[in-house]
Structure 1
Amino acid sequence: MNTTLADQAGATLTVEDGVLHIRMVLPDLAESSEATDAALMMFAARGDLFQGMVLWDQYEAIYRVYQRRLAQTVDTGAFTNLYDPLCQVAASYATVRGVRQYTGEKFLDEAVSCMERVPAIGLLLRGGLLTPTQFRLALDQVAAVIDTDVLAVIDVEAADRLRTAGNLTGPRVTEIVAAVVAEHDADAAQAAREAAKPRKKVVVEPVDGTLADLRVTATVEDVRLAKDSIDAVIADVCPDDPRSKAVRRSDAVIALLTGKVFACECDNDDCPSREGVEVAARLATVVLHVVARRESLTGESDVPAYLDGFGPITADHVRDIAADADTVIRDLDVTDLLGGASQPSNGYRPTAACDTLVRAVHGRCTHPGCDMPAYRCDLDHVTEYNHGDPSAGGPTCPCNLNPKCRFHHGLKTFVDGWLDDQIVDANGVIWTEVTTPEGITVRSRALNHWLLPELGLVPCVHDDAPTSSRPPQEADPGRPRSRTEAKHRYRMRMRAYNRRKREGAPRTPAGCASNADEAPPF
């Protein structure tokens, strides 16, 4: 069984004669029922799709009230700066709902933005593609855009990217919209960055009679470097250190700021870190990765860059980082892959260019719902590499490599039933998909295709491994191969079988809307 999110939309909402009709796919929850695990899982995980649909109608309702009140105050002249139409309508909403005036004004402001400022993104909320939380994250990214013509372009392009992104999480929505804003309204992004600089500060607040909070506000790159430096220092203590990770971080920060020694607190006499961690040596290993196009660095283009662990940053921002004396710039040419993507001495290891490009185009862990930064992930062969016979396994190539955090890498490797795949479509877009043991397939588009659109168009120099045309069968235990080899062969055949089914399935006609994740245009 193979069930996609598009097959299990989960909810629809229609309006008939002034009545909202919500339709949900509800499996039989009786213990003796024969409901499949896939149906039960889809309902548990996606049964709240209707929330965005209902919220859009709520926005439309209060927006109509606001429009009428606005027209009335203009006609009668009953307009004051203190009690303007927005304030009046928000006060009614706050009274009826039982919330503060601020909450009412915020809700009405979101409604106006949904209907006027970003109607295309708002329709994604109406279609169930965005959750209310994700929609509000998108609004946050366009808040600084003032030019209505520019905002209209951002709205349409961001909505298109979100609609075709596949699986969405909060950070993914934020980064997709932020990239569009940084590209089309660099002035607004730069103005927001300049306005934020005076807000750098250090704040101390007491927690109780013993503890206090120390909060430092700084640029994103400095905070990332500081956080990575702290983690690098605490990584040198032994496993027997009794402190939690949070306590070790706190102790390391104070030691670094005050010049004290940070040491392991275990009871092992032979622990090399009991006398103190070699801080300078640990800090020397900290690297902050930023990937930018060459024309952005030279000022010829305003295409944003990508800061690992944070997201898109403006071209002006990356030029400032590049001008820092501590920054090391390495040129990267996508055409280097034409000579091969693996190291000549070891076909399993990717070249430095391949490694960087794969991490950059995906940005984060490719497992749906996980947002671990790419440079903190393992680089995984989607179709497993065959060390005994490389020609019979998955190639070391951008088409077969993606970042996975250690947990999800291990989940795929050691837990039966999980299957992942990676496909490059005719437009050079890289798609990943993960199928759960229940048979539910979730697809995701490479997060940073906008940064490296040519990567998926570079011809692969490897030969595809031969695959069987028969449906996948369980590996024959009588064959003279290890359990791991049998599992890898079975997965390869399953991927080939799923691809043939996908290619033979009818495509959604152009222009048709879906209230679930859209399938890639294979």
Structure 2
Amino acid sequence: MTHDMLPPVPLPPFDTTTPISEALDTISGCARRRSRLAWEEYARIEHVHTVSLDRPPELDTRVFDHFANTSALLGAVNHIDKTHADALLNESLALIRRIPLIGRCLYDGTINQQQFQQLVSATDLVDGWPSAPHVDKQIAQGLCDNGAGSTRRLRDLANRAIFAHDPDAMRRRAEQALVRRTATLRPRPDGMAHFGITAAAEDGQLAMAAVEALIAAAICPHDPRKKNARRSDAAMQTLQGLAVMCQCEREDCAATPSEGGMSDQHARIIVHVICQDETLNEDSSGSDGDGDPDGDGAGEGPGDDGSRGDGPDDGGPGYDGPSLDSDDDDGPGDSGPSDAGPRESERSGFLDGYGVITADHVRAIAARPDAIIRPLNPKPGQTLPTHQPGDPYRFSAALDTFIRARDGYCVFPGCNKPAWASDLDHVDEFNHRHPAAGGQTCARDANTKCRYHHLIKTFGEWLDDQFIDADGFTRVTVTSPDGITIIGRGHNNEALFPALRTVRFQKPPPRGPTTPPDGADSGGAGPQRSRTRTADKHARRRRARELNRRLRELHDLGPPADNLR
């Protein structure tokens, strides 16, 4: 196709008076057109593959088979190498033959080409299996309902669908990946080399956290090296048995050289794993949920750590995995087709900092001698506290763990920061001077934000809101200082763990008056403000949220899903 054959796209004239919303609409339109062009390219490539060199199937046993000839043709026409041509043909065949409904999401602009490529790779596990159409439909439905989300959330969406319809496929791949773990050394330019280790996800998380802890203890902020260079030096010096030392050369350096290496840091590291209570019991049928209501490790108390710096009492690396006892077997959004799904004992888990993992992987982690299993609610049916005694601003340990387990990542659209590496934030700002007039410390008014997005919301003019949609899922919207509202339709863990929606917390106290008590800010010479600038900003945000909520009740913000058949 030549440039002359592309239909002209008239662009509106832009100047300094053009609204930002209009420019953003144009940018979104360009992205949708790129997605449509990618779909058309894939469809044409599949057509070429179908009609060219059409030979009986038995001839495709040769090395230079039908696929190889089409790939060579694509490489010659597009001037690309064999690897890229093979990938392009594989994606084209997947679009038409394996995941046509996900392909329709590409056609509609719901996802872009890079996201489609990610889903092609993820669904390769079910290619040629009866579960493929069901996986295709569930992922496409999730995309239509929630959008693509961040790259990690998109991967989790695909894994959830595969776990629901073909858990054996994930088990096979996980077992093969564990067998193929390795350490590699590759030369790099300029006298450098790349040393890499492939290991189980939890071991990788522990190792990286140990490096960070080692740097924090042995290197002061004045060290001249960049962050990644510090990580590299700390890891290599530890492997070589050398002490990790600061290089600031200041006499007042407060860092302490580390002689013990990364193993000394494990006592301060926790890796969080979330799972349903039934997943820990491999023999659970999951049909009635009549097993031990307290689950494994019920005597450990609720999953109440939530911190990122304190390890377990025994001094080993912790796997703080709150199990969730569920009396609700089916979660909307991921229920799949009418045929029976996997047993509850096969429901996947979630590893903080990584994403969805297999049930076997969860049980392998739980079987480690350093694992600590804590049910989120050791007595199902009881209401849990929302804040610390005597301080309504500070989250209780139970609510802290619940919010991080529910959100999985920073809730800001597109962000991949893990929940336990993020801050907890009151969506409606807490009023420290008059708590009853501000946001409340409760699950509905709190979520996880990475430090960057927390600060940009708190000190900038960004406005976020959180609500429960018609299906019972927690949703987030974000509004920029220019008034552009983005619907944060990322997929949180409520779909993966239906029991999260059965956990109950104590009701927060009723709101008091929206203004401080009389005389609270009086005194001083000259005109007086009735409240501080910060209080004014928070009040303005509350009004904007209320308006957004009313508009949301009048309009359905969800994209249509009638293109799924």
Structure 2 counterpart SS, 1:182: helix
Identity score, percent: 34
Q: Residue 126 in 1 paired to residue 107 in 2?
A: yes
- Deviation, 1:259, is 2.1
Cα 1:464–1:132 shift into 2, 3 Å:
farther
Cα 1:163–1:22 shift into 2, 3 Å:
farther
Cα 1:46–1:307 shift into 2, 3 Å:
farther
Cα offsets for 1:408-431 (capped at 9, x unmatched): 110001112x10000112321000
Structure 2 counterpart SS, 1:388: coil
| Paired position in structure 1 for 2:15 | 30
Cα offsets for 1:179-212 (capped at 9, x unmatched): 2213322211111122122322222233357543
Alignment of 1:264-413 (within 5 A): 264-276=246-258, 282-299=265-282, 300=284, 301-333=345-377, 338-413=383-458
| Paired position in structure 1 for 2:31 | 48
- Deviation, 1:115, is 0.8
Contact 1:347/1:396, CA 8 A, preserved across alignment: yes
Cα 1:342–1:79 shift into 2, 3 Å:
closer
Q: d(CA) in 2 for partners of 1:187 and 1:22?
A: 49
Cα offsets for 1:47-94 (capped at 9, x unmatched): 322111111111111212222236x3239x876623322222222222
Structure 1 counterpart SS, 2:214: helix
Contact 2:243/2:260, CA 8 A, preserved across alignment: no
Contact 1:424/1:456, CA 8 A, preserved across alignment: no
Contact 1:337/1:354, CA 8 A, preserved across alignment: no
- Deviation, 1:465, is 4.3
Structure 2 counterpart SS, 1:273: coil
Q: d(CA) in 2 for partners of 1:401 and 1:336?
A: 22
Q: Size of the alignment, in residue pairs?
A: 482
| Paired position in structure 2 for 1:258 | 240
Q: d(CA) in 2 for partners of 1:304 and 1:375?
A: 19
- Deviation, 1:172, is 1.9
| Paired position in structure 2 for 1:87 | 68
Q: d(CA) in 2 for partners of 1:140 and 1:331?
A: 35
- Deviation, 1:337, is 7.3
Structure 2 counterpart SS, 1:129: coil
The 10-residue stretch of structure 1 (160-169 or 348-357) with the greater mean CA deviation from structure 2: 160-169
- Deviation, 1:346, is 1.8
Q: Residue 227 in 1 paired to residue 208 in 2?
A: yes
- Deviation, 1:324, is 0.7
| Paired position in structure 1 for 2:518 | none
Structure 2 counterpart SS, 1:431: strand
Q: d(CA) in 2 for partners of 1:86 and 1:257?
A: 46
Which amino acid in 2 is paired with 1:74?
Answer: P
Cα offsets for 1:24-56 (capped at 9, x unmatched): 8x443134xx31122223434663221111111
Cα 1:509–1:447 shift into 2, 3 Å:
closer
| Paired position in structure 1 for 2:546 | 496
Alpha-carbon RMSD: 2.7
Contact 1:233/1:283, CA 8 A, preserved across alignment: no
Structure 1 counterpart SS, 2:31: coil
Q: d(CA) in 2 for partners of 1:288 and 1:185?
A: 27
| Paired position in structure 2 for 1:200 | 181
Contact 1:428/1:454, CA 8 A, preserved across alignment: no
The 10-residue stretch of structure 1 (447-456 or 187-196) with the greater mean CA deviation from structure 2: 447-456
- Deviation, 1:271, is 2.4
| Paired position in structure 1 for 2:226 | 244
Cα 1:318–1:273 shift into 2, 3 Å:
same
Cα 1:372–1:209 shift into 2, 3 Å:
closer
Q: d(CA) in 2 for partners of 1:99 and 1:351?
A: 57
Cα 1:467–1:89 shift into 2, 3 Å:
farther
Q: d(CA) in 2 for partners of 1:292 and 1:491?
A: 36
The 10-residue stretch of structure 1 (449-458 or 46-55) with the greater mean CA deviation from structure 2: 449-458
Cα 1:46–1:282 shift into 2, 3 Å:
farther
Which amino acid in 2 is paired with 1:256?
Answer: T
Q: d(CA) in 2 for partners of 1:148 and 1:46?
A: 36
Which amino acid in 2 is paired with 1:352?
Answer: A
Which amino acid in 1 is paired with 2:15?
Answer: A
- Deviation, 1:467, is 9.7
Q: d(CA) in 2 for partners of 1:467 and 1:511?
A: 43
Cα offsets for 1:106-134 (capped at 9, x unmatched): 21111111111111111111110111000
Q: d(CA) in 2 for partners of 1:143 and 1:78?
A: 24
Structure 1 counterpart SS, 2:466: strand
Structure 2 counterpart SS, 1:148: coil
Cα 1:65–1:496 shift into 2, 3 Å:
same
Cα offsets for 1:207-247 (capped at 9, x unmatched): 35754322212111111111111011112222111111112
Cα offsets for 1:134-159 (capped at 9, x unmatched): 01111111112245211111111111
Where structure 2 has 5 or more consecutive residues not aligned to the other structure, the ranges are: 285-344, 515-526
Q: d(CA) in 1 for partners of 2:537 and 2:382?
A: 30
Contact 1:179/1:312, CA 8 A, preserved across alignment: yes
Cα 1:423–1:66 shift into 2, 3 Å:
same
Contact 1:27/1:40, CA 8 A, preserved across alignment: no
Cα 1:330–1:209 shift into 2, 3 Å:
same
Q: d(CA) in 1 for partners of 2:548 and 2:415?
A: 24
Cα 1:21–1:294 shift into 2, 3 Å:
farther
Cα 1:184–1:511 shift into 2, 3 Å:
closer
Which amino acid in 1 is paired with 2:216?
Answer: A
Which amino acid in 1 is paired with 2:547?
Answer: Y
Cα 1:168–1:264 shift into 2, 3 Å:
same
- Deviation, 1:478, is 6.0
Which amino acid in 1 is paired with 2:176?
Answer: A
| Paired position in structure 1 for 2:530 | 480
Q: d(CA) in 2 for partners of 1:345 and 1:304?
A: 38
Q: d(CA) in 1 for partners of 2:454 and 2:446?
A: 12
- Deviation, 1:336, is 6.8
Where structure 1 has 5 or more consecutive residues not aligned to the other structure, the ranges are: 1-18, 469-476, 515-522
Contact 2:111/2:147, CA 8 A, preserved across alignment: no
Contact 1:121/1:158, CA 8 A, preserved across alignment: yes
Cα 1:465–1:20 shift into 2, 3 Å:
farther
Cα 1:499–1:185 shift into 2, 3 Å:
same
Contact 2:141/2:561, CA 8 A, preserved across alignment: no
Structure 2 counterpart SS, 1:144: helix
Cα 1:508–1:371 shift into 2, 3 Å:
closer
Q: Residue 64 in 1 paired to residue 57 in 2?
A: no
Which amino acid in 1 is paired with 2:538?
Answer: H
